[in-house]
Amino acid sequence: MHIQIYDTTLRDGTQREGISLSCDDKVKIARKLDELGVEFIEGGWPGSNPKDAEFFQRVQGMNFKNATICAFGATCRVDSDPADDPNVKALLDSHTSVCTVVGKTSMLHVTEVLQTTPGENLRIIEESIRYLVEQGRRVIYDAEHFFDGYKLDKRYALETLRVAARGGADIVVLCDTNGGTMPWEIEEIVRAVKRDRGGLLGIHTHNDSECAVANSLAAVREGCVQVQGTINGYGERCGNANLIPIIADLELKMGHKCVPNGNIKMLTDAAHFVAEIANLSPDEHMAYVGKSAFAHKGGIHVAAIRRCVDSYQHIDPERVGNKMRIVVSELSGRGNLLSKAEEYGLDVNGGAEVAGVLNEIKTLEAQGFSFEAAEASVAMMMKRQRADYKSPFELIDFSVIVEHRMGRGIFAEATVKVKVGNEIYHTAAEGNGPVNALDAALRKALTPVFPQLGHFQLADYKVRILDGENGTAALTRVLIDTQNGVNRWSTVGASTNIIEASWRALADSVEYGLTVAG
């Protein structure tokens, strides 16, 4: 069965605390959703703010291959005529072929929020929809608070759906607006609605009880043909139903069709793209598309994966555009390191070399290191185990001074003495901090011999205090991310001395870049 995917990231998703999208951002996301193959894209509420009005103006001249742009709005006001209502006029002025109209379903909202009569609420639902249909628009009706309203007064809740259909709505969408309904309640109520009336039904759920995805799937099982939600589950409070796992579940687990053939491979890219535009870190543990969704850390798991890749994975990650990862830590076994060596193209003989690195990792992690996010340090440990490996440089000594001078303020100066082949290089450099000065001095010493160092960039530098009860004498872990325009790698150092921890991570980073990353 074909299930319509209705995306409301650009409207409901932007109600998440901390998200603010420009009009350009919204256009970019709409383009990406169209590439993915989403059937409906809700662009916003044109009557609520200038930004949304601008969005609808801009998309009028754009061609969308798969998606239909929808404008969102509410029924006309109590005791008013739709033809004279500013909100309804704004829907028409958006010039979209589809308008999504939200109306009150729960008697609580009719009497306490709208402060009107049940009959007047039914009138404004039916007449608002009929007016838009008469103006040539297709209408999707969102029955707000439907499940709560059904529990409160099911006869009235069902009647609101009947008048929406009578007004000409293409599809009626049942909304769990407060996000507190359980999956078995969704099934029971959707089943009852199907018995009461014909016509197409949709589902719109929120995640306040962590059931939004399950509730959406339950509704589809009972006959809903449209699922509304947002990319990455963005939305007000705890968020909306997350369309990423919903699309994957519907296609890969339930046998339904949601997006064009082959487009499900774009799920990982779409999730990360929207997160980037929204200026939010991707959820690394999100089902299907997270960086850790197919990451294997336990030694027993990895040993099994090496023999049968399906033994600890529910699908092939490439089906959704993701990939399997092997994580190295104190929980690792021999298989973790063999897999990591293969990933980095390192030729290890196994046996003693792998056992030596594994023991070193376990010892260092007990001292505060963490290699899960520092795979380049693991690669260097494996390379150094080989009898024929020779480091491109050898540290003889270094020093760092941090000073305050009148008229200049705080600055740092580092000196580094390293040996390259038979030559010793002794250099000094200043920086805005001790790590920056060390980095500059090391580069100054090595760049004449290794000019590719000029392309290395420090991309990120993270410090974590591991035992804060020791105050300034605490054990400190430093993670450094480096990139050279093509590759990006991470290294780690740990010590009670933050300079030593930083140096270990920095030296690993440079050595890895010169010997592995190229």
State residue 416's pLDDT score: 92
Q: Tell me if 92 sits within 8 A of 132, measured CB to CB.
A: yes
Residue partners of 352: CB distance under 8 A and separation at least 6: none
Determine if residue 124 is left, alpha or beta; phi over 0 gives left, psi from -120 to 50 gives alpha, anything else beta: alpha
* Three-class secondary structure of residue 423 per DSSP: strand
State residue 350's pLDDT score: 54
Q: Which residue, chain included where needed, has tokens 């000019």? A: 451
* Residue 96 to residue 125: CA distance in whole angstroms: 20
Instruction: Show the DSSP H helices in 344-404 as ranges.
Output: 351-366, 375-384
- 337-352 burial string, b = 16+ CB within 10 Å, else e? bbbbbeebebebeeee
Instruction: Show the DSSP H helices in 114-153 as ranges.
Output: 118-134, 146-152
- Can you say whether the dihedral through the CA atoms of 309, 312, 313, 314 is positive or negative? positive
State residue 109's pLDDT score: 93
Number of Cα atoms under 13 Å in the Cβ half of residue 190 = 30
Percent of the chain residues topping a pLDDT of 70: 88
* Residue 76 to residue 212: CA distance in whole angstroms: 29
Q: What amino acid occupies position 152?
A: L
Determine if residue 465 is left, alpha or beta; phi over 0 gives left, psi from -120 to 50 gives alpha, anything else beta: beta
Angstrom CA distances, 87 to 45, 55, 72, 251, 498, stand at: 9, 16, 10, 37, 59
Dihedrals phi, psi of 356, to nearest 5 degrees = -65, -45
Question: What is the pTM (predicted TM-score) of this model?
Answer: 0.76
Which positions of the chain have pLDDT values less than 50?
A: none
Tell me the helices (H) and strands (E) count for the chain, helix number first: 17, 16
Task: For the chain, list the domains and their CATH numbers.
Answer: 4-277 (3.20.20.70), 295-384 (no CATH), 394-517 (3.30.160.270)
- CA dihedral of residues 260, 261, 264, 270 (deg, nearest 10): -40
Entry field: residues in the chain: 518
Number of Cα atoms under 13 Å in the Cβ half of residue 455 = 12
- Give, as one character, the DSSP assignment of residue 11: T
Whole-angstrom distance between the N-terminal and C-terminal Cα of the chain?
Answer: 50
Long-range contacts, stretch 149-153, CB < 8 angstroms, 24+ apart: 149/105, 149/106, 149/107, 149/108, 149/109, 150/105, 150/189, 150/192, 152/106, 152/107, 152/108, 153/106, 153/107
Dihedrals phi, psi of 490, to nearest 5 degrees = -125, 140
Q: Tell me if 322 sits within 8 A of 294, measured CB to CB.
A: yes
Instruction: Show the DSSP H helices in 173-332 as ranges.
Output: 183-196, 212-221, 243-248, 267-277, 299-307
Neighbours of 51 (CB within 10 A): 16
* Edge-to-edge order in the sheet of strand 409-420: 394-405, 409-420, 423-431
State residue 324's pLDDT score: 84
State residue 212's pLDDT score: 98
Neighbours of 506 (CB within 10 A): 22
